[in-house]
Amino acid sequence: MKETKTTMAVTSTRIRLGALLGGAVLATTGVLTAQSAVAAPSAPVAADAPSAAAVTKLSHSDAANRLRGAGISWTSSGGCSDRNNPTCTSFEQINLTTVQGAITLKGATGCALTITGGTETGHASGTYSHWNGYKLDFSPTSCLSNYITGTFTNIGPRPGDGAQQYKSGSGNVYARESNHWDVTYYNCGGC
């Protein structure tokens, strides 16, 4: 029997649903087995599945290799990378687009970049926070500072701490805190 695109899509959906429910599916008929039906009440529902727009998270090792390969260095006051220690600089659970944004910044500026803060605990909370993988802190070298202030648009002081903010053309925000640039990467900066 020739399957139509609709039949194949329904069968595929039933197979994915069966996998979510933890039971076996008869692929040829698309019927859930009794085992899956019994498992259904306590099993996760399809709405809990990650969306296509979910961010990609990296391990510390993967992020460090990517940054090192781009010539970006980092430092830690504690000489460590433990995410749960505020004196460490960790990249654990950083967003791929954040790492790509740092690499884009390195290429655009030509400056030596040193990261002083990543995803470790001890930073302010919020959706677009260090802990959630959206932010990096950079040493404020004159090369980097001149590039940011001369290239990006000043959007005024940040509510709360008054740090001057500069917005790149791609929408990422660079805030000049007392001893570093606090950068929020909403995207990869045009990578």
Reading the block at residue 23, the tokens are 């039971």
Q: Residue 136 in contact with residue 89, Cβ under 8 Å? A: no
Alpha helices by DSSP H, listed for 22-82, are 34-39, 60-69
Q: What is the mean pLDDT of residues 141-150?
A: 98
Most confident stretch, 13-22, 33-42, 45-54, 157-166: 157-166
pTM: 0.72
Residue spans per domain, the chain: 57-144+171-184
Task: Name the helix (H) or strand (E) containing 165.
Answer: strand 164-167
The least confident of 4-8, 88-92, 134-138 is 4-8
Q: What average pLDDT is seen over the chain?
A: 80
What is the pLDDT, as a whole number, of residue 61?
98
Reading the block at residue 49, the tokens are 């599945």
The larger pLDDT score, comparing residue 63 to residue 35, is at 63
Among residues 132, 131, 136, 124, the alpha carbon closest in space to that of 160 is found at 124
